[in-house]
Every structure is written in structure tokens, then in C-alpha cells.
Amino acid sequence: EADIYQTPRYLVIGTGKKITLECSQTMGHDKMYWYQQDPGMELHLIHYSYGVNSTEKGDLSSESTVSRIRTEHFPLTLESARPSHTSQYLCASSDSTTDTQYFGPGTRLTVL
């Protein structure tokens, strides 16, 4: 059973607001990931981290930023939300041996 949590689950916010999506895991995994997924579409990797103080951009360009100050915590921040940021954001973590990823429930973001 995966223990990875995301808050909020749903967020509706106006254009220009700063938002932070929270992700935490209790499995002690070094690796964590953020994906963006539009309804019925494929997953797109936007950020990943292989450990504390390590962050990298993913395959899909994103205006969001991430930080990894603690192993269990990997928040994603949008400094100024726009309607084009409307999507589902999925956080995942993986163990170092198999890279099997475990996903959180996701945050559905709507920017008006």
C-alpha cells in the first residue's frame, strides 16, 4: 500500500494567484516526481528529484517550480496561475531498486 498524499485534492483559483501544491510520502523514497495530465490524455513529467536539494525539469516544459528540502516533501509552486495551467497534477515517488512509481491521488487545478 502506497503512502503518498497530495493536498488540496481540488483547487479553483483566479488568474494571477500564487499557489503551492503539496505532496508528501512516508515510504522514505529518495525519488519523487510531478506529472501533469489533462483529462483522457497521457502523463507528462514536469519535475523530478533524486534526493534532498536535487531537482530537475522533466520532459514537458512547465512554468512551475519545485523544492526538495526534506526527503518526504516535494511541493510544486506556480507563482502566477493562468487558465493554461488548468490540469490534473500527480505526484509520485519510487524506490531506488526497481523505480516502481507510486502515485498520489492528484490535485485537480482549475484557473479561472
Partner 1 sequence: QKEVEQDPGPLSVPEGAIVSLNCTYSNSAFQYFMWYRQYSRKGPELLMYTYSSGNKEDGRFTAQVDKSSKYISLFIRDSQPSDSATYLCAMTKSGGYQKVTFGIGTKLQVIP
Site residues for partner 1 per CB under 8 A: 2, 6, 31, 39-43, 45, 48, 50, 88, 90, 92, 94, 96, 98-106, 108
Q: How far apart are CB 28 and partner 1 at their closest, in Å? A: 16
Minimum CB separation of residue 47 from partner 1 in Å reads 12
CB of residue 42 to partner 1, shortest distance in Å: 4
The owner of cell 496561475 is 81
Residue 99: CB minimum distance to partner 1, A: 5
Ramachandran category for residue 84: left, alpha or beta (phi over 0 → left; psi -120 to 50 → alpha)? alpha
Nearer to partner 1, 16 or 28 (CB): 28
Q: CB-wise, 11 or 43, nearer to partner 1? A: 43
Asked if 94 contacts 49 with a C-beta cutoff of 8 angstroms, the reply is no
Strand partners, 88: 37, 108
Alpha carbon distance 10, 12 (integer Å): 7
Q: Which of 17, 9, 26 is CA-nearest to residue 112?
A: 17
